[in-house]
Amino acid sequence: MYLNIFKTKPDVSDLRYTTKGAACFDISSYLGYQGSVKAFTKSNDVVELLATQNKEGRVYIEVPSEWRVLIPTGLMMDIPENYSVRIYPRSGLSTKKGLNLINSVGIIDSDYIDEVFVPLYNNSQEKLAIFSGERIAQGEMVRNRKVDFEYLTTRPIVKTNRTGGFGSTGI
């Protein structure tokens, strides 16, 4: 099974499984020097963040606390029909930096053929740098299973003695 990938620029990072046992492949950011990234402020204003270079020549953007950004990857995925790609946060970014996926899990459908962006949220209390080529998410190709819906005219019968939800079974 193949996931066909198109790079929008020659220097876009490859997708890769970092270890032999990795369940997901790593996805990296792609920030062109003096390119911009769409961002959303705490008050929901839409702004552009300009990418710049540090002294070592590495391109990056700085994301203010509690802002959301759409980070380009420079990749387009030609996902086979009946499959999708699931995008997950990287645990190290979430725990060490406070960068999380906005929607917990992103889903790329097979009929989406455009550049992939990773929506990140700065959950920390400080400005965070995201560097071009930095691993920002992980992905997994998943086979879709469509279901039919049957609408009932009566309420379903309770199958166990369980009542409630949202922690009702204990901690």
Which amino acid is residue 119, in one-letter code? Answer: P
Angle at 6 between CA 128 and CA 49, to 5 degrees: 25
Give the pLDDT of residue 169. Answer: 67
Give the pLDDT of residue 1. Answer: 87
In the numeric block, which tokens belong to residue 62?
């700085």
Rounded Cα gap, residues 34 and 69, in angstroms: 16
Give the pLDDT of residue 170. Answer: 66
Please, are residues 152 and 40 in contact by the beta-carbon 8 Å criterion?
no
Q: What is the pTM of this model?
A: 0.88
Give the pLDDT of residue 168. Answer: 64
The dotted CATH code for 4-143 is 2.70.40.10
Structural domain boundaries in the chain: 4-143
Give the pLDDT of residue 159. Answer: 85
Burial class (CB in 10 A: 0-12, 13-18, 19+), 39: buried
Low-confidence ranges of the chain (pLDDT < 70): 168-171
Question: Tell me: the pLDDT tens digits for 23-69?
Answer: 999 999 999 888 899 999 999 999 999 999 999 999 999 999 999 99
